[in-house]
Amino acid sequence: MSEKLKLNNQVCFPLYTLAKEVINLYRPILTELDLTYPQYLVMLVLWEEGAQKVSDIGCLLKLETGTLTPLLKRMEQKNMIKRRRDVEDERVVKISLTDNGIELKKKAECVPVQIIQSLNISPDKVQAFKEVAEEILNHINSSRTTA
Amino acid sequence: MSEKLKLNNQVCFPLYTLAKEVINLYRPILTELDLTYPQYLVMLVLWEEGAQKVSDIGCLLKLETGTLTPLLKRMEQKNMIKRRRDVEDERVVKISLTDNGIELKKKAECVPVQIIQSLNISPDKVQAFKEVAEEILNHINSSRTTA
DNA sequence: CTTAAATATATTGTGTGCGATATAATATTA
DNA sequence: TAATATTATATCGCACACAATATATTTAAG
């Protein structure tokens, strides 16, 4: 059989599996904060950058509006964020943290440490891995804009 | 602000994003074969290993039955696979290829080449990346069975 | 041989993820 | 300025992904 179609020779399969497994690693930890992984990413953005437009969050996290709108509504239901139309431009929806959302950051401080520990891999390799991932991402994104 | 919670310092975020982007790379190519990425993985297993139990496919692809059952039913609708209860053990459902499913392999031969090209990264780095991904996966899986 | 435990798959519910389309508001242009 | 194009979200439909639960079948214990 053609070697190229063998599962073990697929490059993207371990990537696909690892991404899922890592999210599964986050799941029990984030459940403590009543967050899912993509919701956690939204919180990271808001904690770091402050109030953001929906489109800004989408741009930073590479998520479409069809994903973000319902996700943000669920976070609003949980009283972590506020969704407000911009008075300057009524098309824009500004996402900001509630007091609860701000407060949640304290509980989140320990999340990255726990994850790094359970990944159980040398910091060097983690860093190298991250860099290759980002390099491939850049390739993909630049070839998209070029095309 | 605590450095550890900054988006750019997250190791798992580029992994999560890259996995999605790579599936988006596959999407137009696999659409030609009327397959999604997880469905393509199922086909890889069947082409390589022949007929398999649902649980075997789940084990190989790290997918739960709640994901696989409806996915396999969609593939059955498209007349790519057959689902048959095992006469020896009525609990088991055996998944096998239809003639169409076997035929589809020819059209799939070119998929890996196209993907590798669009990833646009040196084979060495791809290989190194794959190895680290598999290493982390092994860590996660072994620590799960140990715990 | 009958009941309890284990196994294999199916079902349900919730939450992404994305393409396609719709809607409303703003910007542009004739 | 009225018509048109663009922009920002929202909505809808489909397909995962997984936890929790249900169902059917087989195996094991007594």
Rg (CA), chain B: 18
**Location of structure tokens 């993985």:** B41
Residue A113 contacts B where some CB pair is shorter than 8 Å: yes
Residue A93 contacts B where some CB pair is shorter than 8 Å: no
Contact positions of strand C to protein Cβ (< 7 A): 7-13, 15-20, 24-27
Say which of B7, B14, B44 has its CB closest to residue A134: B14
Rg (CA), chain A: 18
Burial readout B39-55 (b: 16 or more C-beta within 10 A, e: otherwise): bbbbbbbbbbeeebebe
**Location of structure tokens 């824009």:** A92
Tens digit of each residue's pLDDT (9 = 90 or more) over A49-75: 999 999 999 999 999 999 999 999 999
A112 vs B contacts (CB less than 8 Å): 4-5, 9-10
Tens digit of each residue's pLDDT (9 = 90 or more) over A8-43: 999 999 999 999 999 999 999 999 999 999 999 999
Under DSSP, the state recorded for A34 is T
The first and second tokens of residue B107, run together, are 């059209």
**What pLDDT is recorded for position A27?**
98
Under DSSP, the state recorded for B7 is G
Residue A51 contacts B where some CB pair is shorter than 8 Å: no
The pair phi, psi for residue A23, each rounded to 5°, is -65, -35
If one counts every other C-beta atom within 10 angstroms of the C-beta of residue B142, the result is 11
pTM: 0.95
**What pLDDT is recorded for position B109?**
97
Q: Answer for the pair A114, B9: CB distance below 8 angstroms, yes or no.
A: no
Please determine, for residue B141, whether its predicted confidence score (pLDDT) is greater than 50. Answer: yes
Cβ pair A18:B137 closer than 8 A:
yes
SS3 A20: helix
Chain B's closest residue to A41, CA to CA, is B7
Length of chain B, please?
A: 147
**Location of structure tokens 């022949």:** B50
**What pLDDT is recorded for position B147?**
47
How far in angstroms lies nucleotide C4's C1' from the CA of residue A84? 58
Give CA–CA dist B67/B51, Å, rounded: 19
Closest CA to B82 of B52, B108, B59, B109: B52
Mean pLDDT of B117-143: 89
In this structure, are strands B93-97 and B81-85 parallel, antiparallel, or unpaired?
antiparallel
Give CA–CA dist B120/A15, Å, rounded: 16
Cβ pair B121:A128 closer than 8 A:
no
The first and second tokens of residue B48, run together, are 């390589």
Interface of B with A in 5-24 (CB under 8 A): 5-7, 9-23
Q: Answer for the pair B139, A25: CB distance below 8 angstroms, yes or no.
A: no
Give CA–CA dist A114/A26, Å, rounded: 9
Chain B's closest residue to A42, CA to CA, is B7
Closest CA to B57 of B96, B107, B22: B96
How far in angstroms lies nucleotide C22's C1' from the CA of residue A65? 13
**Per CA to C1' distance, which residue is closest to C7?**
B91
* Bridge partners, B138 (sequence order): none
